[in-house]
Amino acid sequence: MWIRMLAAMLVATLLLIALLSANPDYRLFMPGLLEGAVLTVEITLLGAVLAVFMALTAALAKLYGPLPIRWLSTTYIEIFRGTSALVQLFWLYFVLPQFGVFLDAFVVAVLALGLNIGAYGAEVVRGAIISVARGQWEAAIALNMSKAQMLRRIILPQAFTAMIPPWGNLFIELVKSTSLVSLITLADLTFKAQQMNQSTLKTVPVFTLVLLMYLAISLTVTIAMRLLEQRASRGLTRGRVA
């Protein structure tokens, strides 16, 4: 089964990290890299929260908001999907101060990545909401629910199940894009790796460990999302009820 294979890969990755760090050449780098990994995980988690919030807001605004709000959310989605995450990061970090807005590098990282992934997520949420069967809306109208009630009780819970797999992909995307924050001086996993590489020139141990650590983080996210998917689809029958 797929989850078993992923779990096996995760265990193998962690074992490999443990085995390698028995070697003094590798152990030397472990404390610094782990410190970086903690920052990477922090940015990922905060970025994910912001992304989900932005995605829900933008998708609902684009679907049901009044016209100006709809334009606003479309503009947000197109701008953040249409430019590089790196350019967005640089813009928030280097350009905003010129307009008198000074943000901490950590805040910039969470903002830029959260807004970036949120824009992709908005389309995922919108697609999932649209894909809920029409009859569900009609039944909710027949039951005299208000629009907010329909969304909260009927539509979103069903859309939620359809959203999980694409959100899994986006969260992996997020984990990987956190490596960009090293370029705005945040001491994440990638930054630490570069620093250690430049100071010790022990390229192979440093980058091997970093690759394995990212792999472990990504695999954990993938496994968590698969489990969530299983949990959410429990009791659901696929396809139409006979």
What angle do helix axes 2-20 and 203-232 make, rounded to 10 degrees? 150
Residue 23 interacts with other proteins (CB under 8 A): yes or no: no
What angle do helix axes 156-177 and 203-232 make, rounded to 10 degrees? 180
Closer CB to other proteins, residue 21 or residue 222? 222
Site track for other proteins across 177-216, x = CB under 8 A: xxxx-xx------x--xx--x-----xx--xx-xx--xx-
- Among 63, 90, 137, 195, indicate the residue that binds other proteins (CB under 8 A): 90
Closest CA relative to residue 71, chosen from 58, 80, 82, 81: 58
Distance between first and last Cα of the chain: 29
Kindly report the backbone phi and psi dihedral angles of residue 28, in degrees, each rounded to the nearest multiple of 5, phi listed first: -50, -35
Which two tokens mark 185?
């001086």
As measured in angstroms, the least distance from the Cβ of 115 to other proteins is: 13
Residue 84 interacts with other proteins (CB under 8 A): yes or no: yes
Residue 79 interacts with other proteins (CB under 8 A): yes or no: yes
Total of chain residues touching other proteins, rule CB under 8 A: 41
Residue 218 interacts with other proteins (CB under 8 A): yes or no: yes
Burial of 147 (0-12, 13-18, 19+ CB in 10 A): exposed
Residue 223 interacts with other proteins (CB under 8 A): yes or no: no
DSSP H or E run through 235: none
What are the residues binding other proteins (CB under 8 A)?
Answer: 9, 78-79, 81-88, 90-91, 94-95, 98-99, 172, 175-180, 182-183, 190, 193-194, 197, 203-204, 207-208, 210-211, 214-215, 218-219, 222
